[in-house]
Each structure stands twice: as structure tokens, then as C-alpha cells.
Chain A
Amino acid sequence: MRRYLISRFIQMLPVAVVVSFLVFSATLLLPGDPAVTILGEQSTQAQRLALRQQMGLDRSIPEQYLRWLGRMLSGDFGASLSTQEPVAQMIRNRTPVTVELSILSVIFGVLVGIPAGVVAAVKRNTWIDVAASLTAMTGLAIPYFWAGILLIMVFSVHLGWLPSSGYVPFFVDPVANLKAMLLPAITLGSGLAALIMRQTRTSMLEVLSADYIRTARAKGAREPRVVLHHGLRNALLPVITVIGLQIGTLLGGAVVTETVFSLSGLGRMIVEGIFQRDFPSIQGAILVIVFSILVVNLLTDLSYFVLDKRISR
């Protein structure tokens, strides 16, 4: 277990280097000149040149990268080009929103997807199975922005039950916070729920034909116990893999969802940064997201040890 952990950390290092270089260079490839953004269209060529020199934009790309990496590692993410606000502070303010949105979406996906998958597997080839699978297909096919807009129209505009925007920190007012986060979480979690449902159904079907399920029935366990106590835990391993792998997609969806619901999270920070050519804030937000994905993947792998004792030996 410890050896595995150490080797996993060593494996993460080259990934981290490659990813950080990609994040750094992606902003170089974006069209547009940050000097123009800062100084405005009316600035002179000399002013722009001076600013570029000051920012180090005239140096070679490897040199820019190393200097940038050094600053990142020391926790200095720079300041936003448009608001002068330190990027580290922006990340601190916005990360809780995205983290809460992701966690609530995963909870929604798990609470809906796993029971639906289990029921579809147990009642396979019945109308219940067909209905669940069709709903899942729909959930997968609907784009986030459209699902978000539909939910706002129904629950905010027509029914007036839930707000369409406005974030309240959880520790300030938990009820208002959850009310504001419910529609975004459903928007972002519905695709995940569909994927979880399909994976649960598939692995549950496989598990239910296993010999040890027959053993469980032979010793007198009734069907609910056979399915939940003996089947589900065995069926969950591939489901957890899917959830772990989907965290990346989920954070991508967070960009859209936060924009639709005007939540100031990391996703919206990226969108705003792109529109304003605000390189430091784009880089900071993307780095945080990418490293969260690496950490989540590590946690996913570690969860196998807890769930399946065979792996730890």
C-alpha cells in the first residue's frame, strides 16, 4: 500500500510538469495581446513594448515558462490584468463555489444514478428498464446550458420555487445556499447521473450472474439482500472508476453551469479571463482545476483499497 502510494506520487510528477507547461503555453496561443488589453487600443507602440518588457513577455518561451513555474510554486499566481486583484485571492474566493457545485452534482448523480441502475438491472427488459435507459440517454444528450435554462424557466420563472442566481456562502445561510445551488447541481449532475446509471446497470447485471450470488440465494438470502448486500458492493468498483474519470468532464461542465447561473466559481473565472485576455487568472484557475483532477484520480485509486481487500496484497 505504501509502496503503491509512493509510486503513484512519482508517476504524478511528470504529468504535473507536462500539464503545467500546457497550461502555460495555451495562453500564449490565444489570439490577442495582453499589453493591448491593459493599455487599451489607444496606447502607443512604445508603451506596449515597455509593458511587454516589464512583464517578461519579450523573453524566450522556455525562460518565460521557468520563471512562471517558479512563481507558481512559491504561491505567487500574479495579479489579474484587468482588476489588479491577486489571482491567489481570486482562487481562494472562487474555489469553494466550484467545489460545492461539484460535490453536490456528484451527490445528485450518485443518489439518482445508482438506485436507477440497480432497479434497471434487477428489472431488466421490463418497461422500467426501458424507461430508465431512455431517461439516461436523454440526460446524456442534453447540453448543460440548455438543461440549465430549462430548469430556470420551470422552477424559477414559472413556479418561482428556486432562485435562478445569487450565491450565498454555505456557512452564512445554509438554506439559502442550498436553494441557490440546487438547480446548478441538477444541471451539472444529470449527465453524471445518466452515466452512473448505465455503468451501475451493466456491472450489476454482470455481478448478478456470478456464482457467489447463487451461493447467497442458496443460503436463504432474499432478493433485496442478495442485490444490495452481495451484489451492489461488487458492482460499485467500476462505477467509482467512472465517477473518478468524469470529474474532469464535470469541471468542464462547471464552466458552462456557473455562467448560466451567474455563480462566481473557477469556471466563470476562466470564461471571464478568456474574454479579457487575463492570462494570470486563466492560468491560475486552470492549474487549480487540473491539479484537483489529478488528486481526485489518486483518491479514486485509493478508494479501491478500502472497497476491495484483494487489491491491497
Chain B
Amino acid sequence: MLAYPNNADAVPATVTDAEGRADAAATPPLLRVQDLRVEFATDRGRIIAVDDVSFTLRPAQTVGIVGESGCGKSVTSLAIMGLLAAGTGRVASGEIMLRRRSGAWSDLVKLPRTQLPDIRGDEIAMIFQEPMTSLNPLHTVGDQIAEAVFLHRGAGRAEALERAAEMLARVGIPQPRQRLGAYPHELSGGMRQRVMIAMALSCEPSILIADEPTTALDVTIQAQIIELFRSLQDSSQMATLFITHDLGVIAEVAHRVLVMYAGQVVEEGSVVEILKRPKHPYTRGLIASVPRLDRPERGQARFFTIPGQIPEPGRRPPACRFMPRCAHAEVGICDAAPPPLEALPDGGSIRCVKWRSIETAPHA
């Protein structure tokens, strides 16, 4: 049958059940996103960009969100930051509960907009995909990092710059003191992304949102940045929401993984379950699509691709949104009703009514 090539060994050896990167379920959560729904007003009416997304984030935990462009992963992160484009994007329903430094819980959806700047950069920090354009070209990197310290700690300029130098050293920039006076154009892409990370970490946020932080970088630089993330994880209690389309990166950094498709979570689970024993046909397709140079074997194409394209928000199939692209789709079952997100015994969840029969089906 047309099934996905078994690509389980595409997952790097670093992901093992024994490694202890399993979920620290005992610690109380820092962030609880519940039934999040984000809408955008467009010329052609309202569009639901993100629908029914729920997850929790605990201290020292990294949750990865994977999916193709347009699946809603960036929108989810911008909604948490309260940075959806004013006037067009808005959280239509759901809640984003943040455990504040004080220990109290705040719903970021209901919090007055004027209070959000106190949280941004202090309790939740964010880094972006494009290091080349994410730094202000007219300000020195020292001033840009120091600004966050100044805004949230009320530090004086000298003190804030001192902190900035300390942060530059921490993210592995040589001669940090000299680099304070550098302008972004004087730094390489990898260095700029380190500056962005230094800026994000300068106030010791409890949550870091990283939106495709390595996508725009060269492969060797990507590896360095991933290494930096791992060392930061080991040395702090900070929780990370890591957004990427790159399963290799997810394998390196994440504890738990959310797989998103067309604005919905289709599968959720520990990184080992998701990468080694994917259940949803979409997840299986994503993993099979990781290019394998070592395995152009037995008439198999070197690249496996999921046929078709992600549907536009206005043209999503009414029931299972992945059905038109799914090799296991069955008329009468898959188009009968929207599949619910079903909880699994191992703590994960899946949105597919046929996953049991697919799982028993042999791989290619």
C-alpha cells in the first residue's frame, strides 16, 4: 500500500527514552493555553487562523510546535505575546493563563493591553526568525540589549550596559565589551541572532518564545545556535516554546511536541513518541519527508513528499482538514464529522479517527 517510508532512524540518536528529557509532569505549569482561537479580519471576511489550540508549558521544559508555513504556529506565539497586528488579528476565544513572578495567575487575553508591555521582555521574551531585520539598524547592539534592562529593571545606562555585556558573553560573543558599540550591520547573521537571544534573556524571563530562530541561518551557524539553546536549557529553569518546521531541530531541543496542521493541533506528545512512533498520518508524512541522503534505496524516491498543499484558511475541508492529502483517508469515515482531539494513555493526544488502524498497518 501507499504508506510512508519508515524514517524513524532519521531521528538523531540524541533522542532516547532513557535520556530523561521526558516531561517533568510533576512541576506546576507556567503557561496554560486553553482552546485558543485567533481570527483575522480580511477583505474577504473573517478567517480563523488558529482554532482550538491547547497546551501547557512547565519550568525548564521546551515545547516544540511544528508544522508547515501557514499552519498557525507563529500566530499562536504572537497571540501569547499580545503582538497580533492591532485592528486585524485578535484572540476570539480561549485563555492564555500565565503564572506571574508573584505566583498569581493572569489571563493574557483578558489583561488590559496597557499591562502587556510589563510582561513582554520581562516574564515572556521572544526571538524571531529574521535576525537580519529584527534589530534596529540605527541603534548599537549594546543599547538595544540595555533597553530591555532599563525598561523592566529601571537600571541606569551604565548598569544596563554592564548587564548587556554580561549577556553578550553568556551567548558566546567574543569581546563582549567592545561589541556593545557595534551596529547590527557590523555583525553576521549568527551573531545578530545571538544578540537577539541576549536581549531576550537579559531580564531572565520565565518563558522564551523562539519563532524559527535558526531558519534564516547557515547550517553550521544553526548548529551553534541550537547548541547555545541546549546549554541555556541546562543552566536555567526557563521554559521555551520553540516554533520550527524543522524536525531535526525539534529532535535536538524539545521535550514535548505539538504538531499543527491548518490551524489545529493534530498530534501532541513527548518528543520520543512523536518522532519515533508518530500516529497521525500528517506527522508520519512530515517525518518521512526529512531528506535522507543515505537511503535512496529499492526504487524509493530520495525525497518523500506529502501530496497536495495546505488548504487556505477559507477553504478548509469541513471534517478532517488533512483528508484530501491523506493516504489513509476513507470516504464516509473521515469526512463524516470533524475529528476530536483524542487523549492517549501516554499523556499525548491525536486528532484522527483512524489512527488505531493506521498504526497497525505496516510501514512501506
Contacts and interface: CB of A to CB of B under 8 A. Distances in A.
Contacts of B341: none
A212 B135 contact: yes
Given A220-B117, A220-B148, A215 B134 contact: yes
A222 B83 contact: no
A308 interface: yes
B75 interface: no
B120 A215 contact: no
Interface in B51-90: 81, 83
B199 A219 contact: yes
B32 interface: no
Given A214-B83, A310-B183, A220 B133 contact: no
Contacts of A210: 133
Interface residues of A, number: 20
A211 B151 contact: no
Interface of B: 81, 83, 117-122, 125-126, 128, 130, 133-139, 147-148, 151-152, 183, 185, 196, 199-200
A221 B117 contact: yes
Given A210-B133, A214-B128, A219 B120 contact: yes
Nearest to A216: B136
Given A211-B128, A214-B128, A310-B183, A221 B151 contact: yes
A118 B199 CA distance: 27
Given A211-B128, A219-B121, A308 B138 contact: yes
Nearest to A218: B126
Given A215-B196, A310-B185, A220 B134 contact: no
Contacts of B122: 220
Nearest to B185: A310
A230 B148 CA distance: 13
B118 A309 contact: no
Pairs of residues from A and B, 8 with the lowest C-beta to C-beta distance, nearest first:
A220-B121, A219-B121, A211-B133, A219-B148, A212-B136, A220-B120, A218-B126, A211-B134
A310 B83 CA distance: 29
Which of B118, B121, B126, B136 counts the most chain A CB atoms within 10 A? Answer: B136
A5 interface: no
Nearest to B132: A211
Contact of B138 (A214, A218, A309): A309
A217 interface: yes
A133 interface: no
A307 interface: yes
B134 A233 contact: no
A222 B82 CA distance: 13
Contacts, number: 70
B118 A220 contact: yes
A220 B148 CA distance: 7
A70 B83 CA distance: 66
A44 to B, nearest CB: 71
Contacts of A217: 83, 117, 120
Contact of B128 (A215, A220, A222, A307): A215
Contacts of B134: 211-212, 214-215
B313 to A, nearest CB: 21
Interface in A212-251: 212, 214-222, 230, 233-234
Contacts of B135: 212, 215
Contacts of B185: 309-310, 313
Contacts of B147: 216, 219, 221
A219 B151 CA distance: 8
Contacts of B81: 218
Given A212-B133, A214-B83, A220-B122, A307 B117 contact: no
B151 A220 contact: yes
Given A215-B199, A218-B200, A219-B200, 15 more contacts: A215-B128, A216-B147, A217-B83, A218-B81, A218-B128, A219-B121, A219-B148, A219-B151, A219-B199, A220-B121, A221-B147, A230-B136, A233-B138, A310-B183, A310-B185
Nearest to B183: A309
A219 B137 contact: no
A309 to B, nearest CB: 5
Contacts of B152: 220
Nearest to B135: A212
11 contacts: A211-B134, A214-B83, A215-B128, A215-B196, A215-B199, A216-B147, A220-B118, A220-B121, A221-B147, A308-B137, A310-B183
A216 B117 CA distance: 10
Contacts of A219: 120-121, 125, 147-148, 151, 199-200
Contacts of B137: 212, 234, 308, 310
A208 to B, nearest CB: 11
A1 B244 CA distance: 43
Nearest to B114: A222
Contacts of A230: 136, 139
Interface string A253-278: 00000000000000000000000000
A219 to B, nearest CB: 4
Contacts of B183: 309-310
Which of A211, A217, A220 counts the most chain B CB atoms within 10 A? Answer: A220
